[in-house]
Structure 1
């Protein structure tokens, strides 16, 4: 009998809601149907404003946005189920990541806030919903992120080879999967697409630089790259995680203001510098923390940036770089499938975190369950 679960994921780039329907009856997930749903412009603008200016949000607007975001997630789930021809009563649960508004794992006390009311998802869809995955790990002393390494271990690890999985979303995160009996390591390497996307939207009025074509027209500004590489997060040792609270357009503008350029920089040169920054920080993380890795599996939107992938490959030399699609799962859907998988783990009372990744004091069952 099929075991249908539905996963919902919206990352830090806020470029859409990834929705997947998967059959989890076997160890390897079977993707049944997948689709990305665009955020309504008004909601996306409100989400971006809160993330970029968290000090100006009111409780009233935050409450309304939480409700609207939850409804949007619910409608995405309903639409996907209809497309797949699967009735709500045949879907065991929805795993909803929510939309991260603020991630502060190093504050006192630590916290992470996701938006998207799961009560409304369960009510509208009639499907049991699992959400709020991060806060139990944080309560146990962890970073609450990244949470996908447990899924990467279950699906992509090999007993015969050291592998790593690189997810390039708004932020980039790396999972190190030792071939032998050694703990899994996972952490955020720094920005993935977030700075490139923000700069591209500002100057080209498009969501992202397709294939890195605009960046390819520019030249890397070595002074800017070196300034960006000075960020202290990059020198921290895992466990560590980050977000748009740290790496954002305002931070980029501050770094640009520090430069003493003899002439104004071309916009495409800054775009190329941001691409080099992402490639360098990823490659540095692999060399520093995954020295034994001979195979890097890539997923996330950044996997489609041809120039970015080329530069990562050049930095890493003899490490084989492949798409997760070569191992059974399209790179666009890995994270959403992971949260469907985590929902199943929660309902079965199984821990979903890896303390070796997040720094939590012990394994914990993640999330809260909202029964249909």
Structure 2
């Protein structure tokens, strides 16, 4: 896909499993053309972040709490869009659509599965005066798919290269991989936890939101017994298609495995090794020649070094291919919104397991 500045303006919005803020991008997209015009990361207010995280696990009064959070999130999304427009001098009527993924609080693949993202598209459309495309996952699930990951077709558009066998690892709160053999998309799936457990542990023990560069983990040695116990979770042995989230990998999943005398830095090193091993083990059969990394994990130097150690191939950032790792996922939802408006299918059955290709997303007019 060409990076020339041609096509329609679209905004992509993403708040991921880490719940650390809104990633907003302004893109231009047309047939065969994609370019990134402006970017913004807007932190979520602490009370809103806490409210979202509380909703990621079952609790009391969920419907009322979710309704209120949904509206609050959309006001924050609208503010991010308005800031992007102010940065670029564009008017709302110049933007074809906003692709808003929303904030996932439940993802339940399987028979009668569903995926729930908070964020009110009506509020966002009214506040911005721009058409909104949202609810990207459930059509795929209605067709028997996992509804995730949805980014592999976008990865294919941007990163596929003739004659190159590549994997793309998107390491956010959870980690997912895309498998590209030349221009062909062979598959993609969630490998398991990305940053979510590492972030949780360092927040608990050092009051830091994340392990910058992986320095804390790098200063410790993984506990082989603990690592083996964690890798023994049945999810890691499931064949694709598969997807997961905080519903499985959270504090209560980790706690039973921890001996009472656990040294915090050793646990952090083990959690980093868990992410590296689960990704590299998942890629073993595909045997890529190169791994491109995007998402927050692309900044974790220790994690990248461990991936390179296990895979024995070059592990590099998507920035080397022209798209900074922080913006790939938000850009993907701008592209999925464009595909929806163009009447193009957005899912990949080879990834999700859906019975057929389909157009994804629901359109909300301002």
**Residues 153 and 184 in structure 1, CA contact (< 8 A), matched pair in contact too:** no
Aligned partner of residue 112 in structure 2, secondary structure:
coil
1:149 to 143, 148, 152: 152
Question: What's the CA shift for 1:57?
Answer: 3.8
**Residues 26 and 38 in structure 2, CA contact (< 8 A), matched pair in contact too:** yes
Whole-angstrom CA distance in 2 between matches of 1:271 and 1:162: 32
Does residue 6 (structure 1) correspond to residue 3 (structure 2)? The answer is no
Does residue 84 (structure 1) correspond to residue 88 (structure 2)? The answer is yes
Whole-angstrom CA distance in 2 between matches of 1:145 and 1:103: 9
Whole-angstrom CA distance in 2 between matches of 1:163 and 1:126: 40
Whole-angstrom CA distance in 2 between matches of 1:47 and 1:276: 28
1:39 to 33, 36, 44: 44
2:59 to 39, 55, 60: 55
1:281-329 per-position Cα deviation (integer Å, ceiling 9, x unaligned): 01101113x22x1011111100000100001000111x22221111111
Whole-angstrom CA distance in 2 between matches of 1:186 and 1:341: 18
Whole-angstrom CA distance in 1 between matches of 2:84 and 2:365: 20
Aligned partner of residue 167 in structure 2, secondary structure:
strand
Whole-angstrom CA distance in 2 between matches of 1:19 and 1:324: 18
**Residues 7 and 337 in structure 1, CA contact (< 8 A), matched pair in contact too:** yes
Whole-angstrom CA distance in 2 between matches of 1:183 and 1:205: 41
Question: What's the CA shift for 1:361?
Answer: 0.2
1:355 to 349, 355, 365: 349
Whole-angstrom CA distance in 2 between matches of 1:28 and 1:287: 33
Whole-angstrom CA distance in 2 between matches of 1:328 and 1:19: 17
How many residue pairs end up in the alignment?
A: 361
Counterpart of 1:187?
A: 189
Whole-angstrom CA distance in 1 between matches of 2:204 and 2:230: 19
**How big is the alpha-carbon RMSD for the aligned residues of Structure 1 and Structure 2?**
1.2
**Residues 169 and 301 in structure 1, CA contact (< 8 A), matched pair in contact too:** yes
**Residues 141 and 360 in structure 1, CA contact (< 8 A), matched pair in contact too:** yes
1:246 to 235, 245, 248: 248
1:326 to 302, 320, 336: 320
Whole-angstrom CA distance in 2 between matches of 1:158 and 1:56: 50
Does residue 280 (structure 1) correspond to residue 282 (structure 2)? The answer is no
**Residues 28 and 155 in structure 1, CA contact (< 8 A), matched pair in contact too:** no
Counterpart of 1:316?
A: 311
| Alignment CA distance shift 1:273-1:57 (3 Å) | farther
After the TM superposition, which of the residue ranges 89-98 and 247-256 deviates more from structure 2?
Answer: 247-256
Equivalent residue runs for 1:189-338 within 5 Å? 189-256=191-258, 259=259, 264-288=261-285, 290-291=286-287, 293-317=288-312, 319-338=313-332
**Residues 164 and 297 in structure 1, CA contact (< 8 A), matched pair in contact too:** yes
1:83-135 per-position Cα deviation (integer Å, ceiling 9, x unaligned): 122111111000000000010002x4101100000111100000000000000
Whole-angstrom CA distance in 1 between matches of 2:132 and 2:105: 20
Counterpart of 1:19?
A: 24
Counterpart of 1:170?
A: 173
Counterpart of 1:69?
A: 73
Aligned partner of residue 104 in structure 2, secondary structure:
strand
Using the size of structure 2 for normalisation, the TM-score is 0.96
**Residues 7 and 33 in structure 2, CA contact (< 8 A), matched pair in contact too:** no
**Residues 280 and 311 in structure 2, CA contact (< 8 A), matched pair in contact too:** yes
4+ runs deviating over 4 angstroms: none
1:230-271 per-position Cα deviation (integer Å, ceiling 9, x unaligned): 110000000000000000111111221xx4x7xx12111100
Aligned partner of residue 89 in structure 1, secondary structure:
helix
Using the size of structure 1 for normalisation, the TM-score is 0.95
Whole-angstrom CA distance in 1 between matches of 2:7 and 2:146: 34
Whole-angstrom CA distance in 1 between matches of 2:54 and 2:297: 24
Counterpart of 2:3?
A: none
Aligned partner of residue 23 in structure 1, secondary structure:
strand
Does residue 370 (structure 1) correspond to residue 364 (structure 2)? The answer is yes
Counterpart of 1:120?
A: 123
Question: What's the CA shift for 1:55?
Answer: 3.1
